[in-house]
A = this chain, B = another copy of it.
């Protein structure tokens, strides 16, 4: 019995010939170790939980895809769940997962620092795009992305711009806002918080139009596209009258017309890293780079040419 156990979980401890025999019989009997029993004994599950605000958001899809692949390579399975941008659901999910996983990758958490610190006592987790001292994190350098985006607009001649922020409680949204506020000599009006969706953008478009700006940086591509849709419905041309930049470099933005200028975010890399950190139970604070992809939704302001 122990020999069988060892054959599966520590093959090097068993004679090669015996091992082959065990494997052969296992195959014949269609035997596979029961993971529940193994977890019960070892306390480890070989499962990872992944919690995101919105499963349907393409940014998180890429992240999940990469995370799943990374987990699978190391014989881990991935639970996924969606909080619907709802902090209390987030907490419930963490609790529900906690006994069933070795750790949780929490993406764009909306819970407070305090709540997160408290929870981290009972489950180990890796935070993606949220920075809390003492917790393992993978963040993207959105501040840099925001600065480059604003420089791009300034370089084109834009002087008065809008920052259309994302959900309240989003760390990246706050970072972007902070970075923009610190750019010397920039006149940026802040519009938000907004739901990070196309609808959110359409709703924000009126406020953008009223703000009398010629450039817009939006929290993500979906929001940016919504803004463009809303603006065009109001008779404002993009990029003729107003330039718009998003975040994420999503396929939707790339295929949209005008092709969206956007800050590329390494979603896949983040998913992969988070899973790897969790499995190696390393603590670290990793910063991933971002860069601007200039396409057709930005141009010099009217009257410049």
- The interface residues of chain B lying within 8 Å CB-to-CB of A61 are 55-56, 58, 61
Instruction: Output the least CB separation between A171 and chain B (Å).
Output: 23
Q: Determine if A194 is an interface residue (Cβ-Cβ < 8 Å).
A: no
| Residue in contact with A62 in the complex, picked from B37, B56, B69, B95, CB distance below 8 Å | B56
| Residue in contact with A79 in the complex, picked from B34, B78, B229, CB distance below 8 Å | B78
Those of A40-88 within 8 Å (CB) of chain B = 40, 45, 47, 54-56, 58, 61-62, 64-65, 68-69, 72, 77-82
- The interface residues of chain B lying within 8 Å CB-to-CB of A79 are 47, 77-80
9-residue interface stretch from A6-14, A109-117, A182-190, A249-257: A249-257
Instruction: Output the least CB separation between A157 and chain B (Å).
Output: 26
- The interface residues of chain B lying within 8 Å CB-to-CB of A100 are 35-36, 47, 77
Q: Determine if A219 is an interface residue (Cβ-Cβ < 8 Å).
A: no
Copies in the complex: 2
Interchain CB contact under 8 A, A68 and B55: yes
Q: Determine if A99 is an interface residue (Cβ-Cβ < 8 Å).
A: yes
Give the docked Cα–Cα distance between A45 and B79 (Å).
Answer: 13
Nearest B residue to A101 by beta-carbon distance? B77
Q: Determine if A97 is an interface residue (Cβ-Cβ < 8 Å).
A: yes
Interchain CB contact under 8 A, A77 and B58: no
Can you report 12 residue pairs joining A to B where beta carbons are below 8 Å apart? Answer: A33-B99, A34-B40, A36-B37, A36-B39, A36-B45, A56-B61, A58-B58, A64-B80, A68-B81, A77-B96, A78-B79, A79-B79
